[in-house]
Structure 1
């Protein structure tokens, strides 16, 4: 675990998938249901497939998973998955990581909290509703809102809320690379889906550790 970083930041920007919750099982169910509505997807969609693309933008996900589809079919399937995903998540939710609410409650008393994710529009709202967590966050931004990369969304949040010393918490190499482009320090959540070998200012093995260092 990292040494103390107390009193170094005025705000915390969180990634969502792999950092605050794991919705991959539910998303796999949703996308598999969408597959049943078409005849052009070759294989069943599993939780492992979903885990393999966590952190990518919603457009990039379908390019990686279904490279054999032309643009029209890929867009059609993506739109079907988006609808099934939100509907299924509204019913089943995702798995909140241990100590999530305790951590957010404590941190919101010291910092402004934000969410920046590569998810589609409506996904962050499902997380907020499922976990009753929106009360802890000052603002949020996602790929689906403007269709721009994560580092631009981070920079927008920093500018829109006049943040002077933010830090980003994420679980993938892509998260880290986005923070480099945005000029924001990075804390690696090692319990998530990815691996980051260097560049982070701290590594946490759980949200309880985040409370300890911040």
Structure 2
């Protein structure tokens, strides 16, 4: 193994409460939205791309309205995350620091442009990662974005660490081992290794 590619939400941090406040600040100003969102609503969208998230949360809106709403929510979300951050899982920086001395580290997340940058900025963790990718920038699936990272960085034996069935499918698409972050938001049908907590990575690798 020469590298570790990470999912972000439910794997490295939990940003739901900050994102929820950001989205509801937009939603409460929109008369077409039936109610404000809850944490449970957002938990049910973890691992999905933005188009799928919007259809799941706002099925009663037409496509154009939904797309515009998501753009507004994501823009405000990035602003909130830059100022408030999210909740890092226990010992994240210590683990990343140790892993980065032995392996190349990357992030591939289903998010909009600016989201990973906001994570880097607030928590000052950019120094541990060599590259990142997301569908907001490429328009590609998570599996395709994993392949982009692999090709762009000439990786030979990467693994992918994530917490949802979508992460599993992305790793399988890219043909690399999948490590399941059991402490995250999702449940998966299979995995190559499992983490009970983030700092288990030090013992695993």
TM-score norm. by structure 2 comes to 0.98
Counterpart-to-counterpart distance in 2, 1:54 and 1:196? 13
- Which residue of the partner structure matches residue 25 of structure 1? 17
Stretches of 4+ aligned residues off by more than 3 angstroms: none
State the alpha-carbon separation in 2 of the partners of residues 25 and 112 from structure 1: 30
Tell me which of 190, 193, 197 is aligned to 1:202. 193
User: SS of the counterpart of 2:136?
Assistant: helix
- Residue equivalent to 2:152: 160
* Partner SS for 2:159: strand
What is the aligned counterpart of 1:134 among 126, 130, 141?
126
Residue of structure 1 in register with 2:113 after alignment? 121
Q: CA deviation at 1:103?
A: 0.7
Q: Report the alpha carbon displacement of residue 72 of structure 1 after superposing the two structures with TM.
A: 1.1
Match of 1:46 in 2: 38
Give the structure 1 partner of residue 4 of structure 2.
12
In the alignment, structure 1 segments of 5+ residues that lack a partner are 1-8
In 2, the alpha carbon distance for the partners of 1:83 and 1:115 equals 20
1:195 and 1:32 mapped to 2: Cα distance? 27
SS in 1 for 2:105: strand
Aligned counterpart in structure 1 of residue 183 of structure 2, from 182, 191, 203 = 191
- What displacement does 1:41 show? 0.7
Question: How far 1:99 moved relative to its partner?
Answer: 0.9
CA distance in 2, matches of 1:178, 1:71: 26
Further displaced range: 109-118 or 72-81: 72-81
Tell me if 1:92 matches 2:84: yes
Distance apart, 1:33 and its partner CA: 0.5
User: Normalising by structure 1, what TM-score?
Assistant: 0.94
How far apart, in 2, do the equivalents of 1:178 and 1:83 lie? 26
* Deviation by residue 1:148-167 (Cα, 9 ceiling, x = unmatched): 11000000000111100000
- Quote the residue 1:55 is aligned against: 47
- Report the equivalent of 2:141: 149
Secondary structure class of the residue paired with 2:194: strand
Structure 2 portions without partners, runs of 5+: none
For 1:187 and 1:33, the matched residues in 2 are separated by 36
